[in-house]
Amino acid sequence: MKIFFIHHALRIKGNPPGPNDKIHKLGIKDAKLTAILLKRYQKMNGNLMSIYTSPYYRCKKTANIVNKHIKVPIIEDNRLNEMNTSGGENWLSLQKRIRECLIDIINKHSNNDCIACVTSGVNIAGFISLAYKLQPNENTPYIAMPSCSPLVFEIDKNSFETK
């Protein structure tokens, strides 16, 4: 199974980060380029099944721009939101939340499927720990991801424990 991690499009600076962020016109352009890449992938492989997205505006907007080209179901999942420090979430609990979300998504699909996840850049740590079979921990480094830069993870469900 392939999972495309897509960091949401570049948001407009100057407004506080939050669920209602608007995206920058450069972000819209980047999302369209990402859509073209995924459409080419879909044309060659035919197994792009759906887009999972955070309900945050910038993520949904990115998912909708991409989906104008690939036309698959978009599924919102609150677990793909960024870290909620005001709700007491920390780095370790964020990684665990993302990992649990991805395991649920993987279990819904076959080994030949491909899906895309549009979320915040901070969530890449959860994707990496799952793909490399690492347990989330406080020492996992933060890795910055450019906006709309798709990164693909391959998961072999036959050799992967998703329980």
- For the chain, list the domains and their CATH numbers: 2-159 (3.40.50.1240)
Q: Is 144 exposed, middle or buried (0-12, 13-18, 19+ CB in 10 A)?
A: exposed
Residue 27 CB contacts under 8 Å (≥ 6 apart), including other chains = 8, 9, 10, 11, 58, 62, 147, 148
**Assigned token pair, 30:** 């980047």
> Strands, DSSP E only, in 13-123?
48-53, 74-76, 114-119
For 78, residues 6+ apart whose C-beta sits below 8 A from its C-beta are 54, 55
Pairing outcome for strands 48-53 and 74-76 = parallel
Asked whether the whole model's pTM tops 0.95, one would answer: no
pLDDT confidence of residue 108: 93
Question: What stretches in the chain show pLDDT beneath 50?
Answer: none
Strand order in the sheet with 74-76: 74-76, 48-53, 114-119, 2-7, 151-154
Measured CA to CA, the distance from residue 151 to residue 5 in angstroms comes to: 5
Q: Give the tens place of pLDDT for each residue, 117-140.
A: 999 988 998 888 888 888 888 888
In a 13 Å sphere around the CA of 43, the CA atoms on its Cβ side amount to 7
At residue 161, the pLDDT reads 60
d(CA 37, CA 31) in angstroms, rounded, equals 10
Looking at residue 21, its pLDDT comes to: 80
